[in-house]
Amino acid sequence: MLGRLPLVEQLDGLRSVLSQNEVLANVLTRAATLELPGWYVTAGCLFQTVWNVATDRPPTSGIKDYDIFYFDGTDLSWEAEDAVIKAGQEVFAGLPAEVEFRNEARVHLWYEQKFGVPCPPHESTEAAIDSFAATTCCLGVRLDPGGGWRVYAPHGLSDVFNLVVRPNPVLAPREVYEAKAARWKDTWPQLTVLPWPG
């Protein structure tokens, strides 16, 4: 089982599993051409690909979009982010999936209105990934200029491979975690969902 292997072998296993999702491989390759500062492909498209492969589903099953986070603190305007979104639409034209872009330097400007709790300004894309509602989600992958994979996984990969959803009570409220976990459990009933800490 991949979740019990040494970390270097888990990283090799992650690349092998994620590469089975041809849409994801395409997203990574195309995203690299945009040269966005501090970018990662992140969130559901990664751990859900692992869950799909682990439960013998097609690698793209149940994945609603592919998230690309980047960090540009030099311009916090919506117009600058929108320009990236429009450039991305051209780069990803013809791809059979929705690709979403988000400048993590701007999240604090709208987060409270959407989720009901304030979000301190993020200092990097990695800091934004650290704040996902479940530690299992805290995962980012990008291609380096040389074509190698850069993986950011602050909580490791064992829970991802072992189909464990673990709460990460640093920013998102309990109801966000529980709603996401319930939705995932409906799609992947093999998941073990751990409760929000009391």
Query: How do residues 58-73 score in pLDDT, each as one tens digit?
Result: 999 999 999 999 999 9
What is the C-alpha separation between 163 and 51, in angstroms, rounded? 7
Whole-prediction pTM:
0.92
Q: Where are the domains of the chain?
A: 2-193
Cα–Cα distances in angstroms (integers) from residue 141 to residues 19, 81, 98, 152, 189, in the given order: 12, 21, 18, 6, 26
Describe the crossing of helices 22-34 and 78-91 by its angle, rounded to 10 degrees: 130
pLDDT tens-digit series, residues 144-196: 888 889 999 999 999 999 999 999 998 888 999 999 999 999 999 999 999 99
Question: Rounded to whole angstroms, how far apart are CA atoms 32 and 39?
Answer: 8
Q: Residue range 100-124: average pLDDT? A: 93
